Structure 1
């Protein structure tokens, strides 16, 4: 604007001097490169002044225009070249009676930008092309610090050209690197080179990150130096396998990349660039040279996860893993930057379950296999169910997450152990228990019986409370799945949840189990296999409702999906005035009992758990449920591998009322080899049953992977989950999280790398949830270290709830005898809040 104002002043003087009251001004602009006349042209046009550009071939045309056609119009004659010598200037005569625009453009620019001319002249002259465009000047002015120096001015120029968020070197370099490492195609670098001296940019960046000046600087060298610093800071052992890079400010480089890696958008930019370095450095083979306990510290490279996963498979397949701390290593990798990729997270989750299964395998002993009924139940519900649960989740992850074929050997290795050792051992134990006592006397004293479920768990509540009671019966929800659901429900606020095992009826199949869960007694089974309770057939929801109403007149029964789909208003109307609501859920058995779909059993178990968790939320939220029971009619056995021929027993003959792959019911039944007769006296039925022993199946139709009906604990031990919503004074208004404190006596920092120790006050439980804290050191409002996120989620005892982490201070600050603070911010929820600020003293005197 100063330039335009000077022009207008000159025209005003010329108009006053001219008899024609017009002004003619020549402007010979030998520094015209990059100048845009749009603003000048528009402003002068508003004042009635035309702008004409002089060329070497239009002098006569201009002369005719000025002296014949428009003798009273004012003109700015702009020449994008130096003033010609008089003898070559065809417009010399007009120039002699008009004016020439001459001014100190640098001085005008300094005044416009608010810069001191004496300090800024050389800078403005060197960067004159940049300031030829109005928008660039405006952006530069917005980024300019109040008390800036030449380095700040250059930073603002580079920030504008790189389209960075600020003039901070970190933001500028991020913007440039985001365009790629190839100088010839990096658009940010091309813009810088077009409107500013490119060598100045490189010098500025090299200086900030401590690199030695070179005649051939490159973005790749700067970026590679940062990656190198980050790698050797995280894992010093990598220094021997990486190319060597030099910098005076390694901490500055490390913190820069660390901060960028912590951002999701940053990782998307960085990943292909880091992978290019992995390839250039031949890193795959070199990383394989590092021992696993050192490799896990290397968080810089995405390739590290591939190598770690290969190491894990080798260990789990061919070596003993007890005592190696592999679970901590997996947790450490899961907290890394690249583990956010779904494929990597799933792979680590797969290995976490594979590790747990391997540890059970290594520690396998049968000390808990004692020959008493309650011990048989206890062995499964305290120990063995976890193996079923872990294996089921491992297989679900493998199938759903698309694990690579390279992991198939480990899956098959663990499957062989489960199916050829664990299950046969448990089957032998079960067969001994059956022979010793259970075949003749099935119910075990002191264990809740399925036939007593209503009488002992529901009826007392109906008598003592006015609460509406919901009973969800999920077909084939075996104990291990119920245990997982129990853990999930226990994490809900204001929930009181319990889990107990229940001994299902034997044979363990749907008709009999569903009948036993109703009030009253199973009174008979007819020739078609229909189960009667109090002489009513318990074959469908409507007849089960009638049986329920004999004990509770205001009871009601629905298929769970049908009732939920009614919506809030119709759903509430359907249960208005009802005390007991039976809800039947069929996800697992519907899939497993079909030969064509039994392979997807574990998928449906997972879906069933998720569905039931959502249903509980729906019941307590939409329908104000206060008390919910979740149980099952039976469990199931599942074997992934094809069944061996010696596991197939001949079909049972006789007066068979119902026969499936693991049982038969009737009269005068034959007991084929591999089977065992079972008394049904415990149900007061004048019938007998034969169940397949061990893991055997009868040669009946249907699939052989998913089975039930026998006496294995997976089939006959089912969960009973009691969920109660807490109201009134006991209700919590908000979740409680574990407390954390800095567990250090001395709070003096003497080195640029510094370890801080934290202590988690309480163990994670249903009363205390994990806390996530973001930590960094600050001097005033300036962050002077890297930033770390710490997760305090330990459920161990106090001595094992310490967490140590390393902080790296950024060089170039005054750390001699200065105070600073360790700032901890709570990032557990969506809102970030200050948790605590802990004072420290800096006594760092050199790098």
Structure 2
């Protein structure tokens, strides 16, 4: 006998059956147990039933019959015959056997007993899979799942689950496990006709036919014949069917139709593929196989062909037709195709010469949905079969680049007639509230596009050139022309003010003093971020506002001229109440306040001492731990923190090309700084501002932008790319001439600025510049952050939703649940993502897992239909099932009772 068929198990089975009959007959045709009879006989006779074992070998059947019926009529007997059961005519003990019980002690019977299975008709079924039971480990694993009333199909399902090492004896888990094994071997061998490693075991255990039958019942897979069924053919049909299910009705892939699985099983296919893709452990195998089959099937060319046919056949425009790809995530090629179509759409929109309503919001919603799908978030770094570009998986960055590129093109379309305003004040405020988005969308597009371009990929080359040309030759040129006209018409060089906007030299008086004098705060922090352009600051404000941790107010001040660091930082400090606020001494570059140097952190800290303040460099403050930070700030009412990330890199020829990346880094640093000050330093009020903004373009500048002075004036204090400062300067053609007395409330030091976007010279880098009078340089941000204590804090809460159906009942394998968002997404509410699926009382998942976004900003969009695909059709209408709604942010789970009563045999949707 094998190890698990031990004498104890045999004994227990005999004793249990002897409760039902005094005499037991045992036929052992293979004499498998003959050697164990002596030991067994002793234990049987010593048992409570005192069973006597009689071996018919060499015994007279007449004597045995006499013993059983006459000599010992009360004794319990086990009649052992070391041969097969005789036929009726040749069985002399047949009359006794008729009123006795027959004991089956062959291997299959013992296995049935060990598994707790009560139906002896399963013996042959178990016997046909006897090799499986040669392992005690497999047998013990099987025991966990076997139920007493399991039939042949249920037993095979569990045998296969143990063999393939599935986590659960569910066909979906089994299929995914086998496909994972298949994908792995395909990746190793490169051959799609390869067999999974587990296939030999399934063959040895006589389970292959059962596996394919279970697969057919579950998801409708059918091969021409059983011998032609294969993992390759199965995977091919799964992927093709999934692709067709998730494309719109106008996108028809005729060449793949031969591989589609039957219509009535599509819900199971959809659920299987979604679960496979979404499982963190299994998705890597899905990716391997998807990429291999994508190449084998030529999916890219198939999509191109079906797209062209759909454009001819359908009445939909390209944007509407593209929406038919919105939920498809079968192959990576779908994302590649979509990105190509987005590029074409962007190029088409850029050609418009008249203002038109563009479907930009629809495109951005489409992109937003794509960004949450499988391939954008897939990790493809370890797959040898992938192309260089796919390994990087920059699709998320590329979609983001398109969001900002479409924003840019939309802005251009809205202002296609140019920038016409009545006066400088109107144009300044237009920039503050709207036009700054040109600079922001230009920067943010390049932030994402540069990543792929810097890695050598050319996808964005044409778009980048389009955006660059439009930005430099259309936007910057027209903006500067319009603004310069208002500078001249409104005499801003001698009357440097904008109605309703504070001047930068009023910063301390208008922003810092009122907060300190309000008595609401003990200490105020002022962060001066060098070259923090208004549009960069606005992004910072938006990102922090979205967290709901602080209140953020965004404002601007009219920066001083020239708009450069020494002057800009000086006027932000406490200044004398009577002019001149600032002075230049003896031709020095240093700017003095009330006779004190404002150069460097030490100089500014000395000036701040008069108002119980201190200055510190961001880098130094960053090194403080919590206790050091509190100890440093404790003695002061005002703490100025100088942050120089943007200007430090932009003002150098070697690093000016990093400006866009540096802006993103500055936003992150300031975000973290504000959070830390609010937390570790107990700040309740923080102001973030800048000394000036900047002009920047990625492309090389034309020589026409360079407008050097005809000769170098005497008494120069500083001669930079965008400004010249000196004593008693004289006007020059094509230059703005002014005095810091008028533009910075200073002394009579004069300055010259090149008009438009011109530079005096290119020394030290010409792409990133500041110092001039452009709106990008002089619209200086002021952000005020307020800490809201726990009882006051305005939390940004996720919107809630509710199920509209009171009594949930599914009558079809595809059903819809009516849900409704209960409030709009707004300043104090944010979108919610809910994951829906069906489970039974044993927590077995019985449906696809569906994610629904509740992100409506208008009440008309509140109602959402959630489509649920049930897996299989074996549901009990008398049982209670549950619709699960899981909040993906909080992981909170709500259960809704559900009845499933399938009426229709086929999916009618």
TM-score (norm 1): 0.84
Say whether residues 1:790 and 2:852 are aligned partners. Answer: yes
- In structure 2, the CA distance between the partners of 1:816 and 1:761, relative to structure 1 (3 Å rule), is same
Say whether residues 1:350 and 2:412 are aligned partners. Answer: no
Q: Aligned to 2:229, what secondary structure does the other structure show? A: coil
Offset, 1:680 = 2.8
Query: Where in structure 2 are the equivalents of 1:220-369 lying within 5 Å?
Result: 220-235=232-247, 236=249, 237-244=251-258, 245-247=260-262, 248-289=264-305, 290=307, 291-319=321-349, 322-323=358-359, 325-341=362-378, 342-365=393-416, 369=420
> What residue number does 1:453 align with?
507
> What residue number does 2:139 align with?
137
Q: Aligned to 2:608, what secondary structure does the other structure show? A: helix
- In structure 2, the CA distance between the partners of 1:303 and 1:581, relative to structure 1 (3 Å rule), is same
| Correspondence for 1:582 among 633, 640, 644 | 640
Query: Where in structure 2 are the equivalents of 1:143-222 lying within 5 Å?
Result: 143-180=145-182, 184-212=194-222, 214-215=225-226, 216-222=228-234
Deviations along 1:3-40, one digit per CA (max 9) or x if unpaired, are 32179989xxxxxxxxxxxxxxxx997999xxxx9xx9
Unaligned stretches of 5+ residues in structure 1:
11-26, 48-81, 84-101
> What residue number does 2:493 align with?
439
Cα distance between partner residues in 1 of 2:532 and 2:427: 20
Say whether residues 1:495 and 2:550 are aligned partners. Answer: yes
Which sits farther off after the overlay, 431-440 or 682-691? 682-691
- In structure 2, the CA distance between the partners of 1:744 and 1:172, relative to structure 1 (3 Å rule), is closer
Say whether residues 1:538 and 2:593 are aligned partners. Answer: no
Offset, 1:445 = 3.0
Deviations along 1:746-782, one digit per CA (max 9) or x if unpaired, are 9776654445554433333341122111123557666
Cα distance between partner residues in 1 of 2:893 and 2:660: 43
Cα distance between partner residues in 2 of 1:303 and 1:407: 17
> What residue number does 2:65 align with?
none
> What residue number does 2:123 align with?
121
Q: Is the CA contact 1:287–1:295 (under 8 Å) kept in the aligned structure 2?
A: no
Offset, 1:844 = 4.0
| Correspondence for 2:112 among 104, 110, 117 | 110
Deviations along 1:390-418, one digit per CA (max 9) or x if unpaired, are 11111111223556212111011111101
> What residue number does 1:690 align with?
752
Say whether residues 1:547 and 2:602 are aligned partners. Answer: no
Cα distance between partner residues in 2 of 1:7 and 1:337: 52
Say whether residues 1:559 and 2:617 are aligned partners. Answer: yes
| Correspondence for 1:421 among 463, 471, 474 | 474
- In structure 2, the CA distance between the partners of 1:758 and 1:692, relative to structure 1 (3 Å rule), is farther
Cα distance between partner residues in 1 of 2:529 and 2:483: 25
Offset, 1:669 = 2.6
> What residue number does 2:765 align with?
703
Q: Is the CA contact 1:666–1:688 (under 8 Å) kept in the aligned structure 2?
A: yes
Which sits farther off after the overlay, 377-386 or 275-284? 275-284
Q: Is the CA contact 1:816–1:844 (under 8 Å) kept in the aligned structure 2?
A: no
Offset, 1:647 = 1.2
Q: Is the CA contact 1:225–1:253 (under 8 Å) kept in the aligned structure 2?
A: no
Offset, 1:282 = 1.7
- In structure 2, the CA distance between the partners of 1:202 and 1:6, relative to structure 1 (3 Å rule), is same
Say whether residues 1:776 and 2:837 are aligned partners. Answer: yes
Q: Is the CA contact 1:592–1:599 (under 8 Å) kept in the aligned structure 2?
A: yes
Cα distance between partner residues in 1 of 2:757 and 2:853: 44
Deviations along 1:708-757, one digit per CA (max 9) or x if unpaired, are 0111111011111111111263136x652212234679977665444555
Q: Is the CA contact 2:836–2:886 (under 8 Å) kept in the aligned structure 1?
A: yes
Say whether residues 1:512 and 2:567 are aligned partners. Answer: yes
> What residue number does 1:67 align with?
none
> What residue number does 1:846 align with?
905
Q: Aligned to 1:447, what secondary structure does the other structure show? A: coil
Number of residues of Structure 1 aligned to a counterpart in Structure 2? 763
Offset, 1:257 = 1.2
Cα distance between partner residues in 2 of 1:8 and 1:743: 60
Q: Aligned to 2:209, what secondary structure does the other structure show? A: helix
Query: Where in structure 2 are the equivalents of 1:651-662 lying within 5 Å?
Result: 651=709, 653-662=713-722
Q: Is the CA contact 2:118–2:148 (under 8 Å) kept in the aligned structure 1?
A: no
Q: Aligned to 2:797, what secondary structure does the other structure show? A: coil
Q: Aligned to 1:697, what secondary structure does the other structure show? A: coil
> What residue number does 2:654 align with?
596
Which sits farther off after the overlay, 389-398 or 283-292? 283-292
Q: Is the CA contact 2:880–2:899 (under 8 Å) kept in the aligned structure 1?
A: yes
Which sits farther off after the overlay, 806-815 or 185-194? 806-815
